[in-house]
A and B are shown apart, each in its own frame.
Chain A
Amino acid sequence: MATEENGSIKVLQGTLDLIVLRTLATMGPQHAYGISARLKQISDDSLDLNQGTLYPALVRLEQQGWIQGTWGKTENNREAKFYAITRAGLKALDRETQRWRKMAGLVEKLLVAEA
């Protein structure tokens, strides 16, 4: 993950899908604003998701059939599109998580060995 000058982190290509899937799996159905707020919160404000990245990710995941969007009401009675993870999405999450772990482990190993 590339670190920008002000300390916030840019999402590495391809990991955003994993992050979104994980968020939806743990938190249940969420709208776009909810997802970005949650990510901001969990990363102590260091991960500031640009809406320009989040929206394409959502449409991509929805078209792949991994999440499903439905219109609903928030607690403030505002209408919003809530995205929920599907069964196929859960399977994909498993796959992606394992792949990420492998990858991360490999990079970690390399970094340790070289240092």
Chain B
Amino acid sequence: MWRLRRLFAKLCALVAPERAERELAREVESHLALMEDEFQKRGMQVDEARAAARRAYGGVEQVKELHREERTFVWLEQTMQDLRYAFRSLWKDPGFTLLAVITLTLGIGINATLFSAYNAVALKPLPVSGPNEVVRLERWFQSGSRGDIQYAFSRAEYESFRTHNRAFSSMVAASWPRPVIEDTPVANRGGTITGQLVSTNYFHDLGIGTRIGRIFTFDLDTSPEIVISSGFWKRRFQSDPNVVGQLIKIKGTAFTVIGVTPEEFTGTSTTPQPPDFWAPLSLEAKVIPGAKELPVQVLARIKPSVLLQRAQAEANLLIQQVAKPDQRDKTTAISLQHTALFGNTEDIRFKALVFALMLIVGMVLMVACANVANMLLARCAGRQREIGVRLALGASRARVVRQFLTESFLLAVLGGTAGLLASVWCTRLLWSSIVQNFLGSFGGGAAFQANLDPDARVLAYAMALSLLTAVVFGLSPALQFSRPDLTTTLKEEGSAWGLRLSRSRMRAFLVAAQAMVSIVLLISTGLLLRGLMRSQAAEPGFDTRNVFLVIEDSGDMAQNAALQGRLAARLQTMPGIRNAALGSFPMMGTWTPPLLVEGSQGRTLASYASDAYLNTLGIAMLRGRNFTAREVSQGAPIAIISEATARRFWPRGDPLGKQLNLDLNFQGKFSKFEVVGIVRDVRFASLSRMDTGHVYLPAAPGDFQGVLFRSHGDAQTAIASARAAVREVDENQLPGLTIASIEDGPLRVQKSLAQTYMVYAAILTLLALTLAAVGIYGVMAYLVNQRAPEIGIRMALGATPATVLTTVVVEGLRPVFVGVALGIAGAAGLSWVLHTTLVFPGSTDFFYGIPFYDPATFLGVSCFLIFVAGVASLVPARRALRVDPMVSLRHE
């Protein structure tokens, strides 16, 4: 109780210290008076008694200080003092404050933007109740296959998990969103809507309510009911409040709308595309005719009393019991993944990408910090007198450092707040541009939705970053200028010759560091920009304009070899279509099995191809022969290789007729293939670079990814013909069908993604250039300015302007050269590391073939920086030359 009272009293004393101070002074005064009386009583004179009383009392100010320390929180009081002081001094120097805050805003803003996007995608939990208990089941295959299939479970697996587990309080299943065609579409809506099949407990167990109506009930009644999303409700029903009970007809079945989900529910799928409606799994056949037991994603809620590890162990055990012995690709493990907007954010490749981006924007922040540190240094130099006086009056060094840091913190918090605000807006911009580019031309479907509002995590990140930057840029000036060299500072601004040496060395170090970081940043962004600029003109090396892909969402056809074959055959006869083939789709994923040739092992891209495949794509045969239809239907052990493969594995000999071994299922079992042909190198895996190795194989029926065809003449005719052919072969495939040329499909996605990256790389480069130029210029100009008196003396002693200029500029540039050299080494190292990832044949080359040491970038950037530094030292040096030597001498 009294402790609380004391705390309160101390806090109160903080607010209005004046009254307590007056009271204290009065009390001390009366104490002295009483003592004086006493001494007078003992026979002393008035003056004598007063002096004696003072002596006996001791140091009045010390007593008062001790009183203050007891009365209130001194550190807090001092901090508030420092804050007031910092505010005043920043307010008085608006130019500096504005520049520093803007620099920090840019640095922190760009970091916070990237983090916000990462947070929304990978850290924020799903919009379900108790999200921390909810996990997503992810399976790991023996083959090491990765991607969406890791989240696909069969219905039997789900049921078995549900009945046998003891670690979960509930489990829900949801299919991937599937497009369906509405029978009586509302005008202008195209009629294709997406639906997701979910277990009946889905909404209830995830704790998702409805804004209107109700969720599914548990009874096994299969009356056709659906729940619709907020977006669909607005779009299709114009936010009709009486939507419950209305009907949506799909393939002749009328589904009753029973509820609308809340706005913030963006679905639970691994890609954040909220479907238009949800239907119970039991209605599968009615919603998606022809579908048979679609695979589902499984979410589970762990019982509060169960540890994640135990649940994981149990899941691992259960999957082994469910697994069928004849499974093609065995599941080796299950991991329980904390739910985030995207699946697979734990993937090492995703993490590497995020890390690389973080590194670049981190460098921007470092350059910003270096800039502000140098600006502070220049400012401190002007305040040396003030600091000297404070130290002389008895302020401790720690106190002065604290004062400085308070100012830095204030700057950082201002910059951080502005950066955070800017990032809120920038994140939205970044997201919408990515989404637009990604989905605008190809893939269709609902747009990705993400909750981009900054949460506590983003806030904490931005603030932590600000505080960190404050220490980084504020500590070195604070320590440097608070050295208690009282005499020198009081005498004349520390311009004594002896003292300057160590400080100028410190500044040379700062210049070098700034030059280095700037160079690393400029080269990284420059390389990226130069590479990405090449993306728009890159040619894949085969016909992309007239070759069309028949993509069906369901994947049914891929599993149905007979269907594929029939479709290919039918397409061949349609008007406007030259030829059709079965095989892998270019630029839509890679398959990179280990390859073994006469002892040398490596990875290669591999694709399945029918006999018409190479011809359809327009990949030229250089030597040897193509597959025959008979070989393809038998899945003969033969292969056609690319030039690069031939060069790499048969550097001298002739590969034709030789054997190569491939581990197709990643199980360590190699199968033999005989090389029958060699084809030209193309950019098959991605537009960014030529395939480093590629092997085409005739597949066993059912292994082909899909159907491709080559048009002849008008594209629209060809597409219409293809649709007609699909309708003839299997009408149920129409809803999820996309027919697009390689150019308009995957290639456009790649190009526009590259374009987005390019815009951002350009912004980054511009930012880096500005920051580097401003920073280097500022600090160089300041350093040369400091030498103005010295220049005057040299001139007075008879030096010619030319020699003075040369010395000043050359000396000034020395640390810049050192920094540039170190920066070049660092940037080359970084870029080399990035380039080593390209050894893997499936990875994308963001530099589009620019070598890691690209001379144009390295030279250009270095010259730019040295030029700026040169100008920055030349201009003030020339100004100093014009000053009358006597003036500078007198000043000294």
Contacts and interface: CB of A to CB of B under 8 A. Distances in A.
Interface string B833-867: 00000000000000000000000000000000000
Nearest to A53: B66
A33 to B, nearest CB: 4
A66 B57 CA distance: 25
B64 to A, nearest CB: 8
Contacts, number: 69
B75 interface: no
A16 B27 CA distance: 20
Given A55-B66, A63-B71, A31 B5 contact: no
A60 B2 contact: no
Contacts of A76: 37
A92 interface: yes
B1 to A, nearest CB: 8
A31 B2 contact: no
A79 interface: yes
Given A32-B27, A33-B35, A51 B57 contact: yes
B67 interface: yes
Residue with the highest number of chain B CB atoms closer than 10 Å, among A37, A52, A65, A74: A52
A59 B70 CA distance: 7
B800 interface: no
A78 interface: yes
B619 interface: no
Residue with the highest number of chain B CB atoms closer than 10 Å, among A32, A34, A50, A55: A55
Contacts of B35: 33
A55 B37 contact: no
Nearest to A88: B2
Given A50-B58, A51-B57, A63-B9, A92 B2 contact: yes
Nearest to B27: A81
B34 A78 contact: yes
Contact of B30 (A55, A62, A66, A81): A81
The interface size bin for chain B is: 20 to 34
A66 B34 contact: no
Contact of B71 (A53, A59, A88): A59
A64 B3 CA distance: 7
A56 interface: yes
B5 A64 contact: yes
B63 interface: yes
A61 to B, nearest CB: 10
A85 B32 CA distance: 23
A66 B2 contact: yes
Contacts of B62: 52
Interface string A7-35: 00000000000000000000000011110
A80 interface: yes
B5 A51 contact: no
B201 to A, nearest CB: 60
Interface residues of A, number: 27
Nearest to A34: B34
A59 B13 CA distance: 11
Contact of B31 (A31, A56, A60): A31
Q: Is the interface of A mostly helix, strand, loop or mixed?
A: helix
Nearest to A57: B70
A56 B27 contact: no
A23 to B, nearest CB: 16
Contacts of B58: 50-52
Contact of B34 (A50, A52, A56, A74): A74
A33 B38 CA distance: 11
Interface in B164-214: none
Contacts of A32: 27, 31
B34 A63 contact: no
Contacts of A80: 27, 30-31, 34
B264 interface: no
B625 interface: no
B69 interface: yes
B6 A55 contact: no
B33 interface: yes
B428 interface: no
A74 B33 CA distance: 11
Contacts of B59: 52
B66 A60 contact: no
B10 interface: yes
Contacts of B27: 32, 80-81
Contact of B6 (A34, A52, A60, A78): A60
Nearest to A76: B37
A27 to B, nearest CB: 16
A66 B71 CA distance: 15
Nearest to B53: A33
Interface string A74-114: 10101111000000100010000000000000000000000
A56 to B, nearest CB: 4
Contacts of A74: 34
Given A31-B31, A31-B34, 7 more contacts: A32-B27, A52-B62, A52-B63, A56-B70, A59-B70, A59-B71, A76-B37
Interface of B: 2-3, 5-6, 9-10, 23-24, 26-27, 30-31, 33-35, 37-38, 57-59, 62-63, 66-67, 69-71
5 contacts: A31-B30, A34-B34, A51-B57, A52-B66, A80-B27
Interface of A: 31-34, 37, 50-53, 55-57, 59-60, 62-66, 74, 76, 78-81, 88, 92
Closest 6 A/B residue pairs (Cβ): A56-B70, A63-B9, A64-B2, A33-B34, A80-B30, A55-B67
